[in-house]
Structure 1
């Protein structure tokens, strides 16, 4: 090793959301650890029109506010999110006359709308304050991975004037879609989910609460608060997001299946506006006189992808979009950062303790990819049913129940790296995964025969007591046995919900083939004593 080159415990390529949060997590867990972050962009970065990915959900929010201790910043400088909200408003201006999905009040566990510019500037300052060496304007030029288990990795990087080298025991790629380490090692992997996205920011609030003067519509939920939701305007093959930012801007995106809505029809701001005029005219009206407030415009083709491996016993890892990416629907990006960074920290801990890494890294990689495959099933070939007011509402209930009841429980209860306890619920986790695949296929079949009725009602998630309680239960603190019981209760709840979905759909559509789902339900484990049997879905509108 060149004695003139600095040596670090961990070098992170990329100082965005994934890299900076990992740096903070490492410093908090190992106060003396030497961490360097190399970030290509110069800091501070601009507010609002910086990066897409502003909406967080419960796992990512808990990671930011509780695991990393950033609650004062999130409460003081960002916006608390009023959950997800959906409107079946395709081709409509009368938003008060369509089906709305959402909660009438805040549920127990918070999530946030995050201005990425404000947040990443704060994270860089906080990382430096906690002892991380943060170098902006740094471009990595060369990566030399160590040939054996004890030698350090070597990086060459440039600040624009001169090239420097460093050595590091751990190397983490958090440089986003550039995926430098992934490309070097040939880890790129496509998946079966093909979708495109366009997005832009407008330098003014989009006041969705003012889209109707109907006092009844306005009174359905906390007055004047709909704008704080991640609002989805949905139709067959696409959805449009509306996300408010603390800087005063509003983020707008169109995500679409190219088989139904080709990217070429929306890949500029004016083409996107023409598209909105046809498919979401009320939003077009709200934006028509705001062209001068446009802050940016970008698009991405085929944004979803996998990765063959993200953790290695050879002391390298990938996190965030440098590894894999699913879909912005349900905002899982920060969740997978939280999960991936937690696994990386635990691998570093085992390395620092002198333990062998290969078997543990391989197992963490398998678990991480299992979470990825389960979540990918929520999206693959599902976009055509997004415009279905009969099928999307139960799908949202199912997807939330799967998320809050399984993956979120594992994260909130700090069980991601607890291999003995995860081993105790392995069969339950596998059954939940199989059930989810079968239910997602059933949703597609159901939507193919759906009547697609779109009444002027609000399907209020807060009005389902069991659903609100499932959200609240994330805050419980469980010992090992209680956690195992909780996971078995999740199996029971998902089984009951799947049976209710099957029964409702086949009663409405006697010719609907539910044989595959029915066969899986017949093999479900016996329900635990005291399992709830009440109706889990909304009454038919």
Structure 2
């Protein structure tokens, strides 16, 4: 019977990248990968998730060292871009140039085919095989699986990792997964052609985006109770999907390709009329309902773990699923490396579960009732900028600079992350409040995100440069920035003014922010 160090269930993004990372960081290591499909898959495979933001981009470029591969084979992304149509005109928010840190659109099938080609000489793939169960033996696990004819096979392994996506084979086995309290659903298609937003939302040379390659952004079209993504996968294929709240819209209105297009005709006429005129060939159509789930923990002291959607998934709005994979795979790699070196991994497993659950807690606060407030352009702009400052200043900085082998450092960072999330929760609650709704402020209808606190925070993701003390200092500075934003908003001031201020340079890790709680403008005046 074959024996392995690690057995991975699932050969999608999370399983393949974990195998690649394990091989990069641990050698020699014996890996088995049980895949209920086979390779090659269609280059533009119809899977959830075709865009990664900065944490995912850092994972691919910096951690896995695939930057050149991604740039040569997939589309670099010009950040996120938001449109909101009203009575035939539109508002827009986004960058005019590529951000300082890379993110990507990518064809999932091509990426997975290419990674398979990189791995197949060093990983034992069991394609067209289905995981059945595993049992604990004295010094290993006994894994049972079957081939496509139903013939039983088995192997022994030290670790079992569930990367099976929504199948969630291990979380179901141990009954540790639960549905989350949001009723969002999604329908999406891949169109055979390039959907160019510059031909939909016409710019006549009169906006900050006139010379931007707008179509290379991750496009969000916003509406009350829904949003639409438009993602360029190649010069000849585009992914378009609608995510909507089933408490506001009937699922039956989206249940076929034609119904989806008719819904767009009614609710997004600029986009709907463009699609009708172009008459692209629709390659496929997919539905996913009530997809939000979460497991009680990600890694067990009994040497099995969950990664990717097998662990949990809130919402595709910020492509957060890839960020969860990035953190979980990186922490798992360090845990397995330490375990194979016969080190005690109890502390690392605890830290892993705390940090990954903190990331999911942040998503909970981000998505709580957000869909019900999308009608307000000022809310959308403030919310996105605060969400991004939170994300860039904490999780992106951590992914770029942390050493997960250092338990003391990880625990210090967890403490700062928890403080950040607590402050963010207070901010998000205020943005949902009647007090905020009654503020009589407006955001620019054509809102350029540079230069602002948003872009400055993004540019400083790499600042610690792997220096542990500097990493702690910049995270403390970020906690202070979060706290200052909260005090500023509570006083009823216009966030647009703060966003365009030099507050990032004024605040340090040692600034006594609480002393400015009653008069936050004083800090801006002192720093002027």
User: TM-score, length-normalised on structure 1?
Assistant: 0.88
Q: Is the 8 A contact 1:107 1:462 kept in 2?
A: no
Give the CA RMSD over aligned residues.
2.5
Change (3 A) 1:394 1:298: same
Contact 1:174 1:321 in 2 (8 A): yes
The partner residue of 1:374 within 348, 362, 367 is 362
Q: In the alignment, which residue of structure 1 is the partner of 2:168? A: 179
The question of whether the paired residues in 1 share the 8 Å contact of 2:351 and 2:411 is answered with no
Pair 1:440-2:431 in alignment: no
Say whether the 8 Å CA contact 1:14–1:40 is kept in structure 2. Answer: yes
Alignment: residue pair count = 505
SS in 1 for 2:55: helix
Give 1:133's aligned residue.
124
Cα 1:388–1:9 change in 2 (3 A) is same
Q: CA deviation at 1:289?
A: 4.0
8 Å contact kept, 2:168–2:311: yes
1:169 to 2:158 alignment: yes
Asked if 1:37 is matched to 2:36, the reply is no
Taking the aligned partners of 1:417 and 1:524, their CA distance within structure 2 comes to 32
Change (3 A) 1:397 1:224: closer
The one of 259, 267, 286 equivalent to 1:271 is 259
Distance across 2 between alignment mates of 1:212 and 1:50:
27
Provide the residue aligned with 2:17 in structure 1. 21
Structure 2 CA distance for partners of 1:233 and 1:169, relative to 1, 3 Å: same
- In structure 2, the CA distance between the partners of 1:111 and 1:475, relative to structure 1 (3 Å rule), is same
1:402-442 CA deviation, whole Å, 9 max, x = no partner? Answer: 10111111111124553312333555333211111111111
Cα shift readout 1:137-178 (whole Å, capped 9, x = no counterpart): 2222x2123155x22332223143633211111111101111
CA contact (8 A) 1:410 1:416 kept: no
Which of 185, 189, 195 is the equivalent residue of 1:196? 185
Q: 2:412 aligns with which of 417, 424, 430?
A: 424
Task: For 1:221-370, list aligned pairs within 5 A.
Answer: 221=209, 223=211, 225-246=213-234, 248-291=236-279, 293-370=281-358
Q: Distance in 1 between matches of 2:252 and 2:264?
A: 14
**Which structure shows the bigger proportion of residues in strand conformation?**
2
Task: Say if 1:86 and 1:454 are closer, same or farther in 2 by CA, change over 3 A.
Answer: farther
Distance 1:65 1:222 in 2: 30
SS at match of 1:363: helix
SS in structure 2 at match of 1:166: strand
Distance 2:175 2:239 in 1: 34
- Identify the residue that residue 513 of structure 1 maps to in structure 2: none
Conserved 8 A contact 2:201-2:270 = no
Q: Quick one: structure 1 residues 32 and 49, their matched pair in 2 at CA, closer, same or farther if it must change by over 3 Å?
A: closer
Instruction: From the superposition, tell whether residues 115 and 93 of structure 1 become closer, same or farther in structure 2 (CA, over 3 Å).
Output: farther
Q: Distance in 2 between matches of 1:350 and 1:63?
A: 21
How do residues 376-395 of structure 1 correspond to structure 2 at under 5 angstroms?
Answer: 376-395=364-383
CA distance in 2, matches of 1:507, 1:226: 25
How far did 1:533 drift? 4.5
CA contact (8 A) 2:9 2:34 kept: yes
Partner residue of 2:458?
471
C-alpha separation between the residues in 2 aligned to 1:285 and 1:390? 27
In 2, the alpha carbon distance for the partners of 1:30 and 1:348 equals: 9
Corresponding position of 1:145: 135
For residue 335 of structure 1, report the CA deviation from its aligned partner.
0.7
Q: CA deviation at 1:361?
A: 1.5
Which TM-score applies when normalising by structure 2? Answer: 0.90
Contact 1:202 1:290 in 2 (8 A): no
1:456 deviates by 6.7
Distance in 2 separating the partners of 1:387 and 1:78: 33
Specify the alignment match of 1:51 in structure 2: 47
Cα deviation, 1:421-478, whole Å, max 9, x if unaligned, reads 23335553332111111111111115873589887732111121x4322112112304
User: Secondary structure, in 3 states, of the residue corresponding to 1:288?
Assistant: helix
State which of 49, 55, 72 in structure 1 corresponds to 2:68. 72
Which deviates further from its counterpart, 412-421 or 429-438?
Answer: 412-421
Q: Distance in 1 between matches of 2:314 and 2:522?
A: 33
CA contact (8 A) 1:8 1:34 kept: yes
Listed one character per residue, the Cα deviations across residues 82-116 of structure 1 (whole Å, up to 9, x for unaligned) are: 110111115x433xxx3211111122101000110
Aligned to 2:107: 115
Q: 1:212 to 1:374 in 2, by over 3 A?
A: closer
Change in Cα spacing, 1:370 to 1:233, as seen in structure 2 (3 Å) is same
> Would the alpha carbon gap of residues 454 and 281 (structure 1) be closer, same or farther in structure 2, given more than 3 Å must change?
farther
Distance in 1 separating the partners of 2:439 and 2:204: 29
Give 1:77-96 correspondences, 5 Å limit.
77-90=73-86, 92-94=87-89
Shift of 1:222: 6.1
Aligned-pair CA distance for 1:506:
8.7
Deviation at 1:32, TM superposition (A): 1.1
SS in 1 for 2:189: strand
- More deviation, 12-21/291-300: 291-300
